[in-house]
Amino acid sequence: MAAAGAPGSILAVGGAEDKEYKREILARFVKEAGGRRARIAILPTASAIPAERATHYTKVFAGLGAGESVHLPIATREDADKDQFARTLLECSGVFITGGDQSRLVTTLSGTATFQAIHALLVKGGTLAGTSAGASAFSSTMITGGSAGLHVRRDGVRLGAGLGLITRLIIDQHFSQRERLGRLLSAVAQQPQKLGVGIDEDTAIVYYGNGTIEIVGSGQVFIVDAADAVSVGFRDGDDGRHSLSGVVLHMLTAGDRFDVVGRCRLDAVPPPRPPRPRSRHK
């Protein structure tokens, strides 16, 4: 579940979100964080150019009407354990984590005062967003690398420990653009108790503590369910063959909702069907 059933919301963004025109995803984040009352902490910890990333997002959030944005220059675990940063986070209504290197992000934040403050923010109803690497790091099991395309094998994906703010999902990003279906299938074949979620660029899931997901943005989200699948070659002791059958695949777009607990789409009321024309044949 998301942050142990916390009432807050988590936006996992597939990367390359629109920052100049409609800015739908970032506008949704600002709205979730409180709109004009929002106080947003920007964590560019995963980025190789943190100051530049923080400056850019500060301008974007101001343009979207957020009340205030503050850059937290957390680059090391020592930084992440500073009381001043943890206190600042606890005074915020939203946290935005930029893209970059998810392994660096997890190594820096996991188990620190900053991480505990982020969790506490969610528990009190705040909003957390992460784009690209920031989105992947939210899961307890994190994809750190792998093959592109439809190469479905045990060695087709590299997995590691994530931040654990989301426990039921394995998240991948830049999904269609970088052809990552194979590595997501390889991930859920090894951990079928988790749903695989592949998020396109300029697309996001909004994940609530009750287990509901809503899709936002211009692309697609692929949810891969291998709970009842039969796999060969993905466990210790298996031979060199690889096969996977019985996987359920959901493809969702903006406005669609999904129940992570029930592993099913939440459909809106369908429009009435037009009357069928009468046949002229007896």
The catalytic site residues sit at 132, 174, 201
The helix/strand/coil state of 163 is coil
What are the strands, taking DSSP E only, across the chain? 9-13, 39-43, 68-71, 94-97, 127-131, 141-146, 157-161, 169-173, 195-199, 203-208, 212-217, 221-225, 230-232, 243-245, 248-252, 257-259, 264-266
The Cα 115–Cα 55 span in angstroms is 22
Residue whose pair of structure tokens reads 């792998």 in the numeric block? 146
In degrees, to the nearest 5, what angle opens at C-alpha 159 toward C-alphas 183 and 130? 85
Nearest Cα to Cα of residue 268 among 253, 252, 256, 250: 256
